[in-house]
Amino acid sequence: MRGSLLTLHRLPTGYRVLYAGILAFFLAGYGAGLVQQHLRAGLSPAGVAAWYLGNEDDPDAERLLFEKEGHEVLDAVWKRSLADVIPAIVLIALLARASAPRGVRWGLAGAIVGLAIADTVAPAAVLWSGPAMGAPALLAQVGLAAAALAAAVVCWRDIGPGRGAGPRVRRPGEEPA
Amino acid sequence: MTQLMTYRGFALATAPASIKALVTAFVVMAALGVTVGFVNYQVRTGLTAEGSAAWYRSGVAANPEAADTDPATQEGAMPLYAKTPLEILDSTHPHLFNQAFLFFVLGHLLALCSMKARWKTATYLAGYAGVAIDVASPWLIRYAGAGFAWLQMAGHLAMAGAFLVLIVVPLWSMWRPGRRAAATAAVAALLFGAGCAAGGAGADRTGAGAPLVRVDRAWPVMGTMLQATAVAADSATAREALAAARAEVFRVDSLMSTYKPGSEVSRVNAAAGTGEWTELSPGTLEVLDAALAWNAATGRAFDPTVGPLVDAWGFHRREGRVPPESTIDSLLAITGCRRVEVERARAPYLGRGRARLPVKGMALDFGAIAKGYALDRALAAMRAAGAAGGMADLGGHVSVWGTPPDGGVGWPIGIRDPRDPEALLGTVTVESGSVATSGDYERFFVHDGVRYSHVLDPRTGWPARGTAQTTVIAPNGTDADALSTALFVLGPEKGREILARHAPEATAVWVADPGERPVEPGDVVVAGARTGRVDLSW
The tens digit of pLDDT for each residue in A7-33 reads 788 788 888 889 999 999 999 999 999
Quote the CA–CA distance of B440 and B456 in Å, as a whole number: 10
Closest CA to A65 of A77, A56, A78: A56
Rounded to 5 degrees, φ, ψ at B186 are -65, -45
Q: Which residue of B has its CA nearest to A175?
A: B8
CB-nearest to B2 from A39, A93, A171 is A93
Q: Write down the pLDDT at residue A64.
A: 83
Q: How far is B244 from chain A (nearest CA, A)?
A: 9
Interface list for B 233-292 with A (CB within 8 A): 235-236, 239, 242-243, 246-247
Q: Are A25 and B107 inside 8 Å of each other by CB?
A: no
Chain B residue numbers touching A13 (CB-CB < 8 A): 117, 121
> Which residues of chain B have a CB within 8 Å of the CB of A93?
2
One pLDDT digit (tens) per residue for chain B, 538 residues: 555 555 556 778 888 887 888 888 888 888 888 888 888 888 878 888 888 888 887 765 544 444 444 444 344 445 566 788 888 888 899 899 988 899 899 998 898 888 888 899 999 999 999 999 999 999 999 888 888 989 999 998 898 999 999 999 999 888 876 555 555 555 655 665 555 555 444 444 444 456 788 999 888 888 889 999 999 988 888 988 998 999 899 999 999 999 899 999 999 999 999 999 999 988 999 999 999 999 999 999 999 999 888 888 887 766 778 888 888 899 898 899 988 999 887 665 555 789 999 999 999 999 899 999 999 999 999 998 889 999 999 988 999 999 888 877 789 898 888 888 788 888 888 888 999 999 887 777 777 777 788 888 999 988 888 888 999 999 999 999 999 999 999 999 999 999 999 998 899 999 988 887 888 888 888 888 666 667 765 5
Spatial neighbors of B10 by CB under 8 A, at least 6 apart, are B4, B112
How close A127 comes to chain B (CA, Å)?
15
Q: Do B247 and A63 touch (CB under 8 A)?
A: yes
Report the 3 state secondary structure along chain A. Answer: CCCCCCCHHHCCHHHHHHHHHHHHHHHHHHHHHHHHHHHHCCCCHHHHHHHHHCCCCCCCCCCCCCCCCHHHHHHHHHHHHHHCHHHHHHHHHHHHCCCCCHHHHHHHHHHHHHHHHHHHHHHHHHHHHCHHHHHHHHHHHHHHHHHHHHHHHHHHHHHCCCCCCCCCCCCCCCCCC
pLDDT of residue B184: 59
- Minimum-distance CB partner of A83 among B85, B94, B108: B94
Name residues whose C-beta falls within 8 Å of residue B156's C-beta, 6 or more positions apart in sequence.
B38, B41, B130, B133, B134
Q: What are phi and psi of A49, to 5 degrees?
A: -65, -40
Distance from CA of A11 to the nearest CA of B (A): 9
Interface test with B, best of A23, A64, A67 (most B CBs within 10 A): A64
For residues B223 and A5, the model is more confident at: B223
Find the largest Cα–Cα distance for chain A.
74
Minimum distance, in Å, between the CA of residue A22 and any CA atom of chain B? 6
Q: Chain A: nearest CA to B501, how far in angstroms?
A: 42
- Integer CA distances (angstroms), B326 to B309, B356, B421, in order: 12, 26, 36
3-state secondary structure of B105: helix
Q: Which tens digit of pLDDT belongs to each residue from A106-143?
A: 999 999 999 999 999 999 999 999 999 999 999 999 99
Residue B201 in contact with partner chain A when CB distance is under 8 A: no
Taking contacts as CB-CB distances below 8 angstroms, the residues of chain A near B124 are: 14, 17-18, 21
Contacts of residue A40 in chain B, CB cutoff 8 Å? 86
pLDDT one-digit tens code per residue, A59-115: 777 778 888 888 889 989 998 888 888 899 999 999 988 988 999 999 999 999 999
* Contacting residues of A for B99, CB less than 8 Å apart: 25
Considering only CB atoms, which chain A residues are within 8 Å of B159? none
Q: Which residues of B touch A18 (CB under 8 A)?
A: 103-104, 107-108, 111, 124
pLDDT of A160 strictly over 90: no
Residue B258: name the closest of B357, B341, B367 by CA. B367
Amino acid B178: pLDDT: 58
Best of A1, A7, A15 to mutate (most B CBs within 10 Å, chain B): A15
Give the per-residue pLDDT at A163: 64
**CB-CB: which of B89, B99, B243 is closest to A32?**
B89
How close is the nearest chain A Cα to the Cα of B62, in Å? 27
Interface check B136 vs A, CB under 8 A:
no
Chain A residues with at least one Cβ partner in B under 8 Å: 5-6, 12-15, 17-18, 21-22, 25-26, 28-29, 32-33, 35-36, 39-40, 63-66, 68-69, 72, 83, 86-87, 90, 93, 97, 168-171, 174, 177
Contact A18/B243, CB-based, under 8 Å?
no
Q: Do A69 and B103 touch (CB under 8 A)?
A: no
Cα Rg of chain A (Å, integer): 20
* Closest to B489 in 3D by CA, of B300, B312, B356: B300
Give which of A25, A65, A168 to mutate to test B binding, by max B Cβ within 10 Å: A25
Min Cα–Cα distance to chain B from A26, Å = 6
**Residue B323 forms contact with A (CB below 8 Å):** no
H or E stretch at B57: helix B49-57
Separation in Å, CA of B474 to nearest CA in chain A: 30
Look at residue B136 in the predicted model and tell me its pLDDT: 94
pLDDT at A165: 53
Count Cβ atoms below 10 Å from residue B330 Cβ, excluding itself.
15
Q: In chain A, which residues have their Cβ closer than 8 Å to the Cβ of B236?
A: 68-69, 72
Of B338, B367, B336, B358, residue with least CA distance to B461: B336
CB distance from B4 to chain A under 8 Å? no
**Rounded CA gap, B484 and B497, in Å?**
14
Does B243 contact A90 at a Cβ distance shorter than 8 Å?
no
